[in-house]
Amino acid sequence: MAEHDPLSDSALHTRRRLLIGAAIALSGMAVEAGTSVMRSAFGPLFGESAMTAAAAARRLGSAAKSRVATSVIDVERLAPPGLPSRKAQPALAANIKPDLRTRIGQMLLVGFRATSVDASTPIIHDITQQALGGVVLFDSRNITSPTQLANLVATLQAASHSTPLGAPLLVAVDEEGGNVARLSPKNGFPATYSAATLGQRNDVAFTQAQGAAIAQTLASVGINLNLAPVVDLNLNRANRAIGGNGRSFSGDAGITSAHAAAFIAGHRAVGVRNAIKHFPGQGSADGDTHLGVVDVTANWTDYELLPFKNLLAGGVVDAIMTGHIYNARLDSVYPATLSYATITGVLREQLGYGGVVISDDLNMAAIKSAYKYEDALALAIGAGVDILTIADQTGSGLVERTIDIIAAHVANGAISEARIDASYARISALKARLLGA
């Protein structure tokens, strides 16, 4: 149930008509933009018939209009007093480099436990005093209704806009669809299809429509980064973390690539960005990295890299999230998130990727049970990770402590300041794209 909106009934009715009208118009633009992107980028890879024609575009328009109208949130976003808002900037002027701690703060994506915040809340302090670059939201911790969520995000963004840096806050969520949907129907959001369902249906236009509908729901509450789609291949049906949970489009790299591209095209038409995951592929794994160390060496082949290669070739990748799997075929010592050979060697040098790399949650058992926090931070940054995800803060002060640790690594030479600069530049470029720059 949505919270009470302070608007009068007549004003609320007028706002509802305007929002829904705008959303339907936007969905029409999504059809043209998304179909154009799919046809130009992926027609040569997967065949023109798979990339939609006029009939498919009409189906997309119909589906998007019917879904988008239900996902628009009627809400007046009001930040509380004491958090002045100003126009967001992608970063300080190019010739003005912020101090080291600010650049490090922009490299953190953290979770927190609150459904509403104000100037006294620790996460607001992290944003305003530590230059925190992003937050990740979860249904069990941060989400109770569309209105509540929109107000929460607006308050967080107002805090970020009020800082000297003035950069927009990355507000991320795992909205894959199906079982992994943080904006769930139980809290008043539209139901979604799993990737497995979309892949089995194998209608690329339908997948694009669902991507647009999900993105419109996210945009209506201010979320700007979806940690989806999953491009791991369903190669091990005993893998409860990926294939067994309906998170993979297919075991076929071509089908997975085409549907991931369609899902992303739907998001881009609405203005929401994506992080594909989990590099270098963990669909063949026997275990779950949430629960412990997972060795995929015996099962993994370079076929699992194909969706990443195809999406990079299509120019549709905003960010890539790493997996925590150990794969001796790529690195005999470290799991992917901490592996220079995997992230810099394979992803950046072999595949030519120059964008943002986001770690999976560093609190997962696959990392936490095997590495000290200080060491994991140094290894991840050294490997080439730009944004460090810390999904659950066990107490206040973690952001400041993390910045202290990374700054100390720079001071003692374990991490170069140039390495921090490279991540800051990539993050700033991503945030500029959020603003349409």
* Residues known to be catalytic: 290, 360
CA dist 327 and 349 (Å) reads 18
CA dist 400 and 406 (Å) reads 10
CA dist 417 and 410 (Å) reads 6
Contact yes or no for 169/203 (Cβ under 8 A): no
CA distances for 23 relative to 16, 73, 352, angstroms: 10, 10, 37
- Terminus-to-terminus CA distance in the chain, angstroms? 37
- Helix/strand/coil for 236: coil
CA dist 428 and 393 (Å) reads 24
Residue 295 is classified by DSSP as: B
Helices assigned H by DSSP within 122-252: 122-130, 139-142, 146-161, 195-201, 204-220
Residue 280: asked if its preceding bond is cis (omega within 30°), the reply is yes
- Listed in order, strand segments (DSSP E) in 86-169 are 108-110, 134-137
- Taking Cα atoms as reference points, which of 213, 223, 310 lies closest to residue 263? 213
- Helix/strand/coil for 22: helix
CA distances for 221 relative to 97, 125, 137, 183, 390, angstroms: 32, 22, 12, 10, 22
